[in-house]
Copies of this chain bind each other. A is one copy, B any other.
Amino acid sequence: MNAPNRATLWGRVLADELAESGLEAACIAPGSRSTPLTVAFAEHPEIDVYSHLDERSAAYFALGRARRTGKPTALICTSGTAAANFHPAVMEADRARVPLLVLTADRPPELRDSGANQTVDQVKLYGDAVRWYAELPEPEADERKVRSLRTTAARALAETTGVQPGPVHLNCPFRKPLEPTAVPGDVPDRFAETAAARGRDGPFVETTDGTRRLSDEECRPIARALETADRPLVVAGPADPTALVGLEPAAVTELADRLGAPVLADPLSGLRFGPHVEGEREDEGGNPGGPRSIYGGYDTYVGHMPPPDAVLRFGASPTSKPLRHWLRDAEAQQFLVDPAGAWREATFTATDLVAAEPAAVVDAVLEALGERDGRADGWLGRFDAAERHHWTVRDQALTADALEAAPFEGAILASVLSNAPDPATVFVSNSMPIRDADRFGRPRAADLTVLANRGASGIDGIASTALGAGSATDDPLVIVTGDLAFYHDSNGLLAVDRCDVDATIVLLDNDGGGIFHELPIEAFDPPFTEQFKTPHGLDFEALGDLYGLEFERVAPVDFSDAYGRSLERAGTQVLSVEFDSKGSHRRRDALAERVTDDVETRSDS
């Protein structure tokens, strides 16, 4: 490893070691202090570099890419407030377990708290939101220091995808010259010969990540509890990025089929969509046969079902509040499988925590399963009936006549997911869109990767996260966002051109925070309209002009056609559909009532 000066050496060793350890992409915001990093990453042939002008958007873009791939993305910025702009995405990466490697350039230690310009306290800037924080030593062509740098790089990357994946922060002090200008003697020629400089063949440190598995003995009580249950259930909450890669849907459905358990599959679980979901159910007999145990309409009806008596739970807390409350109120044995052993279950009703990899647990339980003892009399059948009825009611609400009479935002999510190409990446904003995706997104035998920022559930960074996810794949990218989220990360749209990612952006514009109509604060106006609903009157066509996006206003009834056309076109289109959020809420309630009336009638009969 040759370098004209020590700062350049530092950047190059770091980029080299990270690339050897598997880093494939970096998002960089311009700045002076970070020059050694920027130069090294930009020149590295194995690292794809994305340039961003707003650090907040850069961080969310990196998050999206890492979430889509399950692999770490690096983030690079200069010193000062730039690093604080990364904070929201770092927080989301923490909660959502997304591997991010944050590299913040810093002034040298003697300038801290000295009144020097653009110098702030970056030490442990993100607090406990990172898996690991380290400060790099000051650059120097010293054998031990460079070995430590390589080791730190390898360790940092490994930590991002460790037992609990997440963000890691390396603070990187540099002093001038920051550019690759020659400083005679700074990096002696002979240094290029050292082991630390050259590295080894491959990574300097090879990390082998063990997997938390269950022994046969540990597995048996779980298998026994499930196979003896009368009303066994599998709940798949939002998946972690690495689990998304690791969990085998067919194994889950096999397990569910053998148990006679429905799989309630969150839209973010990686299980609601995919080749393992096949056709319609024909049989109301409650027989477990056939790999068709994926249920998606439960948000409407689950509160009206009898409680489960044994539950196997994967992933984070489900998006559906009715599901969470139903689980809370069930007196069931609940096995919560979490690879990091971190209770992610805010209703505090899990009885058993299983700290192991979900995929390994499924395999081991399948292995340990004996004959089914439990009696699922009508258990699956009731789910089948309710599920079928839910989608029938939904489909009736989606006809042109029905939509003309009663447009609602859920219809758009229904269409987005049902008509998305196979394969596709669909990124759904928080607030109402993800809830509507949960309720109206029908399980489909298509390779849809449905993603959202469900760690901290903010409405910030939506466009950037989605575009970052899109940058990692050739799948068509669909983004569903509300107007507040679209405004919040409008800067992120620069990545369409700058990072060359195309998308169909579905904008549900109800002029403000429609979700607040669902809360009791609606009755208190003021301050409801001015401080909660916050209508802004923005016409986003101008934003389309700014970022070179095609902008089309679409009536709800015409949405599916416009969506289909957009998916066939190159470039990025914004399909803006205006809604009255109150009307959407009313429609949602009315549809739910039709489903639950039916469920109640059946259970009465």
Contacts and interface: CB of A to CB of B under 8 A. Distances in A.
A530 B42 contact: yes
Contacts of A180: 524
A536 interface: yes
Nearest to A128: B121
Nearest to A526: B42
Contacts of A90: 84
A26 to B, nearest CB: 11
A546 B536 contact: no
Nearest to A94: B120
A104 interface: no
Interface in A481-530: 484, 487-488, 490-491, 494, 498, 513, 516, 519-521, 523-524, 526-527, 530
A555 B222 CA distance: 76
A266 to B, nearest CB: 13
A167 to B, nearest CB: 12
A127 B129 contact: no
Interface stretch (A246-254, A341-349, A360-368, A370-378): A341-349
Interface residues on A, range: 35 or more
A111 interface: yes
Contacts of A400: none
Contact of A519 (B39, B51, B87, B179): B179
Interface of A: 28, 30, 32, 35, 38-39, 42-43, 49, 51, 53-56, 80-82, 84-85, 87-88, 90-92, 94-95, 111, 113-121, 124-125, 127-129, 177-181, 316-317, 342-346, 348, 454, 456-458, 460-461, 484, 487-488, 490-491, 494, 498, 513, 516, 519-521, 523-524, 526-527, 530-534, 536, 538-540, 542-543, 545-547
Given A30-B531, A120-B129, A516-B30, A81 B458 contact: yes
B95 A91 contact: no
Nearest to A545: B542
B536 A117 contact: no
Given A81-B456, A118-B457, A488-B54, A531 B91 contact: no
A49 to B, nearest CB: 7
Contacts of A43: 526-527
Given A460-B81, A530-B42, A487 B54 contact: yes
Nearest to A129: B121
Q: Which of A32, A498, A546 has the most CB of B within 10 A?
A: A546
A179 B488 contact: no
